[in-house]
Structure 1
């Protein structure tokens, strides 16, 4: 039976879709026959056997999109007309609909687009339309979630959301698209909320906090997201942050709409304030499928085993030795200290897990940052909550007031109760309880975030540190060293305990780049490009929390600091007074270590005021003094980013202008006397002052060339070219004509190429003759140098990635070295853009040659060799007309050297198509005789090639 006959036999009534069972039966036949997919969750796309089908112009595609919103249903012609034209209907509208349908039928499989009076219908299998597939997966997930199967629900919801490739219907401006796009986006967002609900039920609150922060920022009035973030933060032990989220939501509602939060959120706030056990993860029923039941009393599930710890081997070994000592009856107290995000909680969790594995009882409590009056013993109440129904608390009356049994109301306070005596009694009872617990197994009491501890908790820990010395009990606390001050109660307490030998401190430093890369790889669902990972590690400077937040932002395409990370970094910043904050903002704008003299000159403040501001920054662990140079640097580079981000528009330009003027009046304030102009250039550009930036960049190029910094000189001159068009009468301002600048750049590029040739090519013949491998004696004999010089050269080239070590002093050529490409690409970029700027207008014949080369590039999407030739021809024709022979002489060998990388680059048809599209823009600019825009487009084309190439090499 033919496909047409099958459909005819199963055809439903004209105005209703076919029954689900019948469509399912037809699915395999349809997909096997046509393998056609319709994608609308993102840019509209039709795929046949994996290849995209060209569906025509915008109106025709809009018609197809409208039919896909109701697949297997008849859409009347008048509805289609309204969808495409709204109220501005042309007289030929109905005829145009018929024409569009006819054209679509030519590219779609036969019998898919059917005529059904009074309109048309797309007959497709459910799995062939991503929107239908999405809705089916979501319906299955909601059913699973209602039945308590959170794991299955989460899997289906993730699969559903993975179908999205971008905003739906964004390419269409027709009347139907606006309404339907909003509806589909609402559906996507609701599905994200469903997925987060499932993950919260699975105990994955720590994994969704960052995502929820971003979602709440994008949708600040969405109640469900706010509640989910509050719950996730609460379960992660971040109670104060959960309450802050509620307060911000309430303020937003009142400011925007003049209403109060709904009752459900107010109830959630009340439960968090009272640490309601019902907020814990619900228990799992057994023995069949996992079902979450509200009928039984809620209790926390055992914490999942932490992932394998990265780094911290030495610190963990010290903690395990303390645990062994406690198990032997020599109780001890340990303190893990370090800045935010350095891994204190992770290390404590690892020790706790190992202690449980050794049979120890582990109790964990967290201090919380409350804006109002502190609540006493908050971490202790949390730590002892699992024991509230235990007989071991029986008879401990003061302790029972803090930790009543589940079915018991808090005890009333007797009138004759003396506060001092009851406090001492409470401390003694806690010691008794720990003694009872340690009678059969060691006890580990973990108190996190001690920097937020109330005075009563600090006093209790002091008491316990003395009391556990001869018991199998280990106290483990953590605190943020970047928030405590020398006069704080917690600092004084732990200083005295350390002096008395009652506590041992472990200071956590940054992880190495290798350790960070390992951590990011383990926590990523899919491979991350090495270039992204390396960039993240460079910015994170060893902080694992910073690295993970930066990676998540990078994968979302964000360049600025994530909101959560910025807030963490600015915790100490906001505690400074207004003058100190202004000084730190200026220090961040310096973009290097800053002296108090530079800041005083720029801000026009007395030295003593600036020094006092810097002292506050040092006391709050925001900045670190360098006594040798008399300068100050931010403790972490991201702190400088966060502080700089607090500068307002206008304020930022003013700060940079002040810094540039200060350097102009007192050049000795620069980091180095040979970088004065370079620093001034940076500040003038940031200040939006192109005239001053142009002259400073010219001087910077002279400074760089004077010390043989040829590449740096080229960059400064490239900046001169960028500024040239923005400066009226640029030749008079610069004191030099543009042709002279271009000749200067050509000479620098030629010199840089010669220097590069010495390093890049000197061993090529030797290595070929030796079968691609060589050692120092062979190289020395071949190029007539000493063995020592040859060995040094080989080592240097290996460090640069041009050679690889083969063992026992033997080296071989690197297969493809990114270090070489990094040097070649900028030189090619400078020379080609100069050539385009210098070229005379392109006539019709020259434009036709460029278009022909680009057409051959597009046609060679699946032929890398042909694509290389076409691309090389395009760039050769683009630069050949400049008439600057020295420039072209410098450019030719560089382009030839790049050819060995192009074979890898051209393996991906998508890269070829992207490059061809960029070429189209260059040609269009040249047709308008706009050589400046053509050069700018060429710059984007070449600079985009380097990251693409790196990704290709790694692949």
Structure 2
């Protein structure tokens, strides 16, 4: 290294420089940012334009270059206080149009971190684990902590991702070495900090499983699935599904191996829909259906080998005009998207995005007739929006468009789903419970997972069977999937659950102490979401399983009191004697 003294540079945390082991005060944050841009590219000349852009960004003031000169002078005084202004060399070297930090690569902790990572890939398990331990020991907090500017921001994100990837690799090696408790302790905190990082969650599920904590492992998977669906609108990926499948396989010993295909894709059947997704471009496809019906899983399976830009709408995107599509196409025009061949543009959850995005997506329809562009949108029936309904009609009326409503799985496919999950077909009782899910794959999966977690499944005579009704824990797992409905609608559904699988709207109004007209909005919302369906002059739960879950989710004492209340108000309203008698019986049981 040129110049007096021995320097070390630390960027994996607050930016620090040590000269001969003593820390150097680099000065204010902007001056630290100038040094950080140079140090991160040690040995390379960085132009003044790059430095200004990296430290001040696009909004750099006219005085930025003068400020840069002052910061470099201040850094030189701090780093080499005895250095003459006329002396050549030094740690910060002037080049033709910029500056260069002249330190040995190993003087930078970032370089040592990446060297340990690379070396670990060449070693066997124990050696690799030790190298990754050394790499992670270099970190002292967030990289470039407290340093302003676009360069530091980008490097902070890049290095944070590398750090997490290193943590994941180390955790895998530590599990192989039997250090299960250490891994659980470390990852339990990290999944809270990074809730949608699937690799961390899959490793935590595996660690809990290896530690004999199968029930916690299944709960961790369920929590992960809920977070991914709620935050990103996607189902768990292959690593998570594989981790869950290993847990399921050990909780209950199946007579044969669970289906790899079901574990990989998360779907059964849907052959026509998969063929549509795997078809040629130059088309538009609209998939709609209730939450949990399998839209996202279908997209993942059907578009696995396609050139795809897939973005997911959520409730936040609706307040950020064009955000999801601009993220997907990176500002490119339709002709540019297809310049390198067929291109698939997917907006998953169009009901959440803003009106401009819906209009933009619809305006792309004519381009599918002139270019190899395949437009796909998915949507839930609620919330109801006029612009989303118009977009759906535009696809239906478009010559190259098709609207597909995803309904429930047929009974045979439900059996195949359960068999694929646990390695055995369901027995009569379990099959009856699953049939009450109305063919909704997520409800079936939640039911089976919750029964497994409760220890309520057993294998005998070549089938998997349950001997108990829904527990409150199982019911809670199922009813949690209704959180997309408004609280008022869920309250009406709880009253309806008290009355049975079918009920008269007037009876619900009576027991709830409301007018029938006050329930119209809630009933409309539940019907649009596929929770309720017409049954002649009455209404019915489309998924009897949900009705049972809503009912069983209430404490027994509450159910008893509510039945007594229902009997009293229904009798006062002149309800048939047998209806009042049933509630009286349930209210005294």
Structure 2 length-normalised TM:
0.53
- Provide closer, same or farther for how the CA distance between residues 457 and 573 of structure 1 changes in structure 2, counting only shifts above 3 A: same
- Provide closer, same or farther for how the CA distance between residues 601 and 562 of structure 1 changes in structure 2, counting only shifts above 3 A: closer
- Provide closer, same or farther for how the CA distance between residues 612 and 369 of structure 1 changes in structure 2, counting only shifts above 3 A: closer
Structure 1 position 511, deviation (Å)? 1.3
Could you report, residue by residue, the CA deviation over 1:368-393 in whole angstroms, capped at 9, with x for unpaired residues? 222x9612333334434xxxxxxxxx
Higher helix share: 1
Contact 1:339-1:480 within 8 A present in 2 as well: yes
268, 273, 287: which is aligned to 1:310? 268
355, 358, 363: which is aligned to 2:309? 363
Could you report, residue by residue, the CA deviation over 1:102-154 in whole angstroms, capped at 9, with x for unpaired residues? xxxxxxxxxxxxxxxxxxxxxxxxxxxxxxxxxxxx99997697485957954
Contact 1:366-1:378 within 8 A present in 2 as well: no
Answer yes or no: is 1:434 the counterpart of 2:330. Answer: no
Distance 2:176 2:191 in 1: 10
SS at match of 2:303: helix
**1:589 aligned residue:** 498
Structure 1 position 595, deviation (Å)? 0.6
288, 301, 307: which is aligned to 1:350? 301
Contact 2:567-2:584 within 8 A present in 1 as well: yes
Could you report, residue by residue, the CA deviation over 1:767-816 in whole angstroms, capped at 9, with x for unpaired residues? xxxxxxxxxxxxxxxxxxxxxxxxxxxxxxxxxxxxxxxxxxxxxxxxxx
248, 261, 277: which is aligned to 1:319? 277
Distance 2:169 2:566 in 1: 57
Structure 1 position 642, deviation (Å)? 5.2
SS at match of 2:369: coil
Contact 2:418-2:426 within 8 A present in 1 as well: no
Contact 2:564-2:583 within 8 A present in 1 as well: yes
- Please show how residues 408-487 of structure 1 align to structure 2 within 5 Å: 429-438=332-341, 442-481=342-381, 483-485=382-384, 487=385
**2:288 aligned residue:** 337
Structure 1 position 590, deviation (Å)? 0.8
- Provide closer, same or farther for how the CA distance between residues 520 and 434 of structure 1 changes in structure 2, counting only shifts above 3 A: same
**1:520 aligned residue:** 418
- Provide closer, same or farther for how the CA distance between residues 450 and 336 of structure 1 changes in structure 2, counting only shifts above 3 A: same
**2:543 aligned residue:** 636
- Provide closer, same or farther for how the CA distance between residues 546 and 140 of structure 1 changes in structure 2, counting only shifts above 3 A: farther
- Provide closer, same or farther for how the CA distance between residues 527 and 497 of structure 1 changes in structure 2, counting only shifts above 3 A: closer
Contact 2:532-2:542 within 8 A present in 1 as well: yes
Greater radius of gyration (CA)? 1
- Please show how residues 202-351 of structure 1 align to structure 2 within 5 Å: 204=199, 236=228, 239=231, 306-307=264-265, 309-320=267-278, 323-324=279-280, 326=281, 331-351=282-302
SS at match of 2:265: coil
- Please show how residues 739-888 of structure 1 align to structure 2 within 5 Å: none
Could you report, residue by residue, the CA deviation over 1:847-875 in whole angstroms, capped at 9, with x for unpaired residues? xxxxxxxxxxxxxxxxxxxxxxxxxxxxx
Contact 1:141-1:153 within 8 A present in 2 as well: no
471, 474, 480: which is aligned to 1:567? 480
Contact 1:361-1:443 within 8 A present in 2 as well: yes
**1:925 aligned residue:** none
Could you report, residue by residue, the CA deviation over 1:449-490 in whole angstroms, capped at 9, with x for unpaired residues? 111112221121011112222211111111123x232x4321
Contact 2:290-2:529 within 8 A present in 1 as well: no
How large is the RMSD of aligned CA atoms in angstroms? Answer: 4.9
Could you report, residue by residue, the CA deviation over 1:172-220 in whole angstroms, capped at 9, with x for unpaired residues? xxxxxxxxxxxxxx879527749989x99995578689999xxxxx9xx
SS at match of 1:436: coil
Contact 1:572-1:622 within 8 A present in 2 as well: no
657, 660, 674: which is aligned to 2:564? 657
SS at match of 1:468: helix
Contact 2:505-2:538 within 8 A present in 1 as well: yes
Contact 1:210-1:564 within 8 A present in 2 as well: no
In structure 2, the gaps of 5 or more residues are 1-124, 136-165, 208-212, 214-218, 240-261, 456-470
Contact 1:141-1:157 within 8 A present in 2 as well: no
531, 535, 544: which is aligned to 1:622? 531
Structure 1 position 658, deviation (Å)? 3.0
- Provide closer, same or farther for how the CA distance between residues 651 and 210 of structure 1 changes in structure 2, counting only shifts above 3 A: farther
Contact 2:475-2:552 within 8 A present in 1 as well: no
Distance 1:631 1:194 in 2: 50
- Please show how residues 680-691 of structure 1 align to structure 2 within 5 Å: 683-687=583-587, 689=588
Contact 1:361-1:437 within 8 A present in 2 as well: no
Distance 1:378 1:646 in 2: 39
Q: Which has the higher contact order (CA 8 A, sep 6+)?
A: 2
- Provide closer, same or farther for how the CA distance between residues 648 and 602 of structure 1 changes in structure 2, counting only shifts above 3 A: same
Structure 1 position 155, deviation (Å)? 8.2
Structure 1 position 343, deviation (Å)? 0.9
Contact 2:263-2:420 within 8 A present in 1 as well: no
Contact 2:496-2:503 within 8 A present in 1 as well: yes
- Provide closer, same or farther for how the CA distance between residues 621 and 484 of structure 1 changes in structure 2, counting only shifts above 3 A: farther
**1:380 aligned residue:** 325
Distance 2:231 2:409 in 1: 28
**2:84 aligned residue:** none
Distance 2:557 2:393 in 1: 46
Structure 1 position 340, deviation (Å)? 0.9
Contact 1:151-1:202 within 8 A present in 2 as well: no
- Provide closer, same or farther for how the CA distance between residues 649 and 158 of structure 1 changes in structure 2, counting only shifts above 3 A: farther
Could you report, residue by residue, the CA deviation over 1:63-90 in whole angstroms, capped at 9, with x for unpaired residues? xxxxxxxxxxxxxxxxxxxxxxxxxxxx
Contact 1:333-1:502 within 8 A present in 2 as well: yes
**1:494 aligned residue:** 392
Contact 2:395-2:403 within 8 A present in 1 as well: no
Contact 2:290-2:530 within 8 A present in 1 as well: no
- Provide closer, same or farther for how the CA distance between residues 653 and 513 of structure 1 changes in structure 2, counting only shifts above 3 A: same
- Please show how residues 128-167 of structure 1 align to structure 2 within 5 Å: 146=133, 153-154=171-172, 157=175
Contact 1:540-1:638 within 8 A present in 2 as well: yes
| Count of residue pairs brought into register by the alignment | 383
Contact 1:375-1:454 within 8 A present in 2 as well: yes
Contact 2:418-2:424 within 8 A present in 1 as well: no
Contact 2:318-2:353 within 8 A present in 1 as well: no
**1:190 aligned residue:** 185
Distance 2:522 2:420 in 1: 42
Could you report, residue by residue, the CA deviation over 1:731-771 in whole angstroms, capped at 9, with x for unpaired residues? xxxxxxxxxxxxxxxxxxxxxxxxxxxxxxxxxxxxxxxxx
Distance 2:428 2:206 in 1: 23
Contact 1:140-1:153 within 8 A present in 2 as well: no
